[in-house]
Structure 1
Amino acid sequence: MDMSDFGERGGERRSRLLPMNMTASISALDPEACYRAMQAKDARFDGRFFVCVSSTGIYCRPVCPARVPKRENCRFVLSAAAAEEAGYRSCLRCRPETAPGTPAWSGTAATVSRALRLIEEGALDEGCLEELAARLGLGERQLRRLFLAHLGAGPQAVAANRRLLTAKQLISDTAMPLAQVAHAAGYQSLRRFNDAIRKAYGVAPTEIRRATENRAGSTIRLRLGYRPPFDFSRILAYLKGRAIPGVERIGENSYARSFSLGGASGIITVTPVAGTNALEARIATLGSTQGALPVRAISARLRRLFDLDAEPGAIATALARDPLIGPRLEQAPGLRVPGAFDGFELAIRAVLGQQISVKGATTIAGRIVTKFGAPLPGGGAEGIDRLFPAPKMLARAELSGLGLTGGRIATLKALSSAVAAGKLDFTPRESLEAKIAEMTALPGIGEWTAHYVALRALGEPDAFPASDLGLRKSAGGGEPVSTAALQAMSQAWRPWRGYAALALWTT
């Protein structure tokens, strides 16, 4: 088996700053180490902590171009939300809203990581904390305690901070009307948006826009930070062989795709930003748009697609001494797990990939899009002219004649119907095991497919399709080990078994 197949033919017929363990708390920050990193303006620590400057009342990233403040005026916190909670305003020069996001597994519990992803997607913009806690299988007070222990701020403070930083980025970097900025950032009223901006920055949104209007254009641009190293070309190479015809296009140094979200449709193009640790996403809408563009949802999906919230240093440190995985990670610094922009699309692709080659699954996916995908307004762009079919469409579609077996058709229809009816979604649950059980309850979806979907669509870093033949052969040096043996072996790689799987598949 070609290891680059990345499992699509499945078996189912330490830095001192943040300790690399699951129980680290806010007290784990070493102030002296933080100050030295800030003096050096070391980009490797960007996003891993923030500095609150008592003499100015402002908080900054460690790479801020401003003069380094005196040590006695500096207080260090793990998150921008903690700085806001302490009464500090974000710096207009280093712009904390563009710092890399909170790492999913570095010093935070799995439950907090799942909650952060849900908050990033707007779970607390309209919903309440009690509902968020219920989705994670916790009580409200327990969730609040976890956030305070790991981030130094409660869930609602984190959500408020994300709304504020998203709004600031949209004001500075786009030409969106301010009313649309408020809605896209998650504010329920223009008044709350104006009050939040005035309180945080001391000026009205119009004044910030006036100062940065030369950078705003007709195409919305988002900057997505990450922690180096980051092997963008390796992710592109993986995605290129699986690009769905008509929906995705992979260039030498770019990724582009169609999208339809929140009443808006168009094309997103992602490229690296030279000289920085960031990608730039250009969002061009096509046709008429109903309501505000869901910028936060798009940003969250792109971060998941390119695994931008990974902490490569933590992963490498944790797995470096393993005789099987360590040497492979040395070969591929910056290894990330290629994710998915749309969970349903990825799940359909995973089912198509059962027992056939990557090329064969891609061909059939293209046939499905050609027959059932809605055309983009205005014809789209070169190589991108359709949207991936919606769950309701595929649930009632006639899929015969496309090269699918009867069993595969039944699985695709069951999956599409479950998503269309709201019985299955692709948001995190209280545990990886709960999500696997939810998916394997559908006919034709077993452990391999469920773990593969959890790894790529949900960004679950500990998902591990142990029955995969490619993994078993790689772990056995060419001779497959048993699924049970690989499961036992993988316990040493937790909670990053997904990265271990990628290392075994691709190096």
Structure 2
Amino acid sequence: MTLSTDICYQALLARDARYDGRFFTCVTSTGIYCRPICPALAPKLENCRFVASAAAAQEAGFRPCLRCRPESAPASPAWAGTSTTVKRALRLIDEGALDNDGIEALADRLGLGSRQLRRLFHRHVGASPLAVAQTRRVLLAKQLLHETELPLADVALASGFGSVRRFNEVFQHLYGRGPGTLRGRRAELYQAAELTLRLPYRPPYDWQAMLAFLARRTIPGLECIDGECYHRVIRVGEAIGSVSVMHLPADNALHASIRLPELAALPSVIARLRRLFDLQADPEAIRLGIGRDPALAPLLDRRPGLRVPGGWDPFEVAVRAILGQQVSVDAATRLAGRLVERLGERVAGQEVPGLDRLFPLPERFTFDEIRALGMPGARANALVGLASAYRERPRLFDRRQDLDETVDHLCALPGIGEWTAHYIAMRGLQESDAFLPSDVALQRALAEQGQRPTPRELLARAEAWRPWRAYAVMHLWHADAATTVANPQQERGDATLA
């Protein structure tokens, strides 16, 4: 915990929403843990223990409050910027890495021993990896009980429990009663084709900027924006479905409608949506990190809720980045559309008219097929090489120990230079510190008296922005777009954003 006991208690008394998700209050007299905004009568200070995460509270033996619903809190930023390994591990856990495999397998993916991983988690999160995974399952199950009418067996499956028996045991242990009693309505005959969930974020959130960014890059047949709603066809493993996402500003959340035939894939879908829309960001930490620069401070004031748009899949982001090399955003989007039309698998029966394609699997990438799109030979070879590497190494896009190692790993692939590698890390891997010092748009935005900074000068200046350099990139891109006449020559700095 970086917050003092006094700060936490004052925030609790004031029900200060700025601290929601930053800490949880464990009440020793009741055995319950709550969010700072809980409407219940505030406990006495001597009965309070403050922890950095819901997992730490549950591992200490406290159960979630039924009134403030900890599953509805924004993601805790307690470990942000402190341990790259922990952030990578949390991402894998969110995707279900511990649902079927043990902690040794997770540690192996991270390149360290299981004992070291446990030590890192207790230092940065206050709980073990297994406790984090258990808390994720419990809170997702509780959200599904409150927000959907899925049968209990489906809730157990969708939230990552290995069996209904284990699901019932955990809830009986935590709440002293079965999961069905938390619902208050029957759902055994529910046959809905979709789930609707709220995905909370820490305000402010610039939804219009996010939509505008995605709208310019939507691939026909795969995704579209209809008014204020984003739609997309998805594939998770063997499961094929679709998602629709819109903004609920009054709830500080996005509203996701998920159509999926295999509920076991739901945790992965939710994790991908959180990355796509950058719902884990902490705007206050970002403001403190980059707002000291006099050029960035007014940009943050103008767009305090600006996020870094992610991608559905790192392989897709990498393909789109290569397609966008040396061309404008619009030209890259057209190339991506032709790629999906030619190589993407057709799917039928989707909810949104016109969405009938999946992004191509790497097996479909051959030199002749790519060249037929009108691609230069070198770029076609780069795409084929990327697809081949991904087929051979399904974990090609796992984060490495740090950003530099991740970038070096990506740069070893044919046709990927440092700019493209940082871009893939920024959007495909949600690396908050990814940076593009050679980007022309950034240089234009920071020009003084007509003199643009060199990449070396820009890199040196950006040292003070760490670990939030990717957010500085987004602010500078928006500033440049607002002052630059859109034409192919001027767009080069934004070219691979397709």
Q: Report the 3-state secondary structure (helix = DSSP H, G, I; strand = E; otherwise coil) of the residue aligned with 1:297.
A: helix
- Residue in structure 2 matched with residue 11 of structure 1 by the alignment: none
Q: Find out whether 1:169 has 2:140 as its counterpart.
A: no
Structure with the larger RCO, 1 or 2 (CA within 8 Å, 6+ apart): 1
- CA distance in 2 between counterparts of 1:184 and 1:423 reads 24
- Residue in structure 2 matched with residue 366 of structure 1 by the alignment: 337
Matches within 5 A, 1:136-155: 136-155=110-129
- Residue in structure 2 matched with residue 504 of structure 1 by the alignment: 476
- Residue in structure 2 matched with residue 491 of structure 1 by the alignment: 463
Deviates more, 1:88-97 or 1:179-188: 179-188
Q: Report the 3-state secondary structure (helix = DSSP H, G, I; strand = E; otherwise coil) of the residue aligned with 1:345.
A: helix
Matches within 5 A, 1:413-492: 413-422=384-393, 424-477=395-448, 479-492=451-464
| Aligned residue identity for 2:341 | T
Distance 1:493 1:212, change over 3 A: farther
- Residue in structure 2 matched with residue 99 of structure 1 by the alignment: 73
Match of 1:394 among 365, 380, 387: 365
Residue 480 of structure 1 deviates from its aligned partner by 3.4
- CA distance in 1 between counterparts of 2:451 and 2:356 reads 44
Distance 1:328 1:274, change over 3 A: closer
Does structure 1 conserve the Cα–Cα contact (< 8 Å) formed by 2:277 and 2:310?
yes
Deviates more, 1:467-476 or 1:342-351: 467-476
Matches within 5 A, 1:164-243: 164-211=138-185, 213=187, 218-243=193-218
CA deviation map 1:216-251 (0-9, x unaligned)? 854201211111111111111111101111111123
- CA distance in 2 between counterparts of 1:483 and 1:142 reads 38
Q: Report the 3-state secondary structure (helix = DSSP H, G, I; strand = E; otherwise coil) of the residue aligned with 1:398.
A: helix
Give identity over the alignment, percent: 51
Q: Report the 3-state secondary structure (helix = DSSP H, G, I; strand = E; otherwise coil) of the residue aligned with 1:265.
A: strand
Residue 396 of structure 1 deviates from its aligned partner by 7.0
Residue 105 of structure 1 deviates from its aligned partner by 5.7
Matches within 5 A, 1:338-377: 338-377=309-348
- Residue in structure 1 matched with residue 251 of structure 2 by the alignment: 276
Does structure 2 conserve the Cα–Cα contact (< 8 Å) formed by 1:172 and 1:213?
no
Match of 2:277 among 306, 309, 331: 306
CA deviation map 1:81-130 (0-9, x unaligned)? 11101111111221111211122764632222222111111122222223
Does structure 2 conserve the Cα–Cα contact (< 8 Å) formed by 1:408 and 1:444?
yes
Contiguous gaps of at least 5 residues in structure 1: 1-25
| Aligned residue identity for 1:497 | R
Deviates more, 1:120-129 or 1:303-312: 120-129
Does structure 1 conserve the Cα–Cα contact (< 8 Å) formed by 2:20 and 2:36?
yes
Q: Report the 3-state secondary structure (helix = DSSP H, G, I; strand = E; otherwise coil) of the residue aligned with 1:304.
A: helix
CA deviation map 1:422-464 (0-9, x unaligned)? 2553332222122212211111111111100100010000111
CA deviation map 1:328-356 (0-9, x unaligned)? 22221111111111211111111111110
Distance 1:472 1:212, change over 3 A: farther
Distance 1:74 1:107, change over 3 A: farther
CA deviation map 1:122-160 (0-9, x unaligned)? 122222223322332333222222211222111111111
Q: Find out whether 1:88 has 2:62 as its counterpart.
A: yes
Distance 1:201 1:212, change over 3 A: farther
- CA distance in 2 between counterparts of 1:448 and 1:382 reads 36
Distance 1:397 1:197, change over 3 A: farther
Residue 79 of structure 1 deviates from its aligned partner by 0.5
Does structure 2 conserve the Cα–Cα contact (< 8 Å) formed by 1:135 and 1:430?
no
- Residue in structure 1 matched with residue 242 of structure 2 by the alignment: 267
Distance 1:276 1:210, change over 3 A: closer
| Aligned residue identity for 1:362 | T
> TM (normalized to structure 2)?
0.90
| Aligned residue identity for 1:112 | V
Does structure 2 conserve the Cα–Cα contact (< 8 Å) formed by 1:262 and 1:292?
no
Does structure 2 conserve the Cα–Cα contact (< 8 Å) formed by 1:436 and 1:447?
yes
Does structure 2 conserve the Cα–Cα contact (< 8 Å) formed by 1:376 and 1:387?
yes
Matches within 5 A, 1:26-175: 26=1, 28-103=2-77, 106=80, 108-175=82-149
- Residue in structure 2 matched with residue 325 of structure 1 by the alignment: 296
* Alignment root-mean-square deviation, CA: 2.1
- CA distance in 1 between counterparts of 2:15 and 2:187 reads 28
| Aligned residue identity for 2:361 | A
Deviates more, 1:216-225 or 1:414-423: 216-225
Moved over 6 A (4+): none
Residue 263 of structure 1 deviates from its aligned partner by 3.0
What is the aligned residue count?
477
Deviates more, 1:466-475 or 1:146-155: 466-475
- CA distance in 2 between counterparts of 1:424 and 1:204 reads 39
CA deviation map 1:376-399 (0-9, x unaligned)? 222552242211111112257612
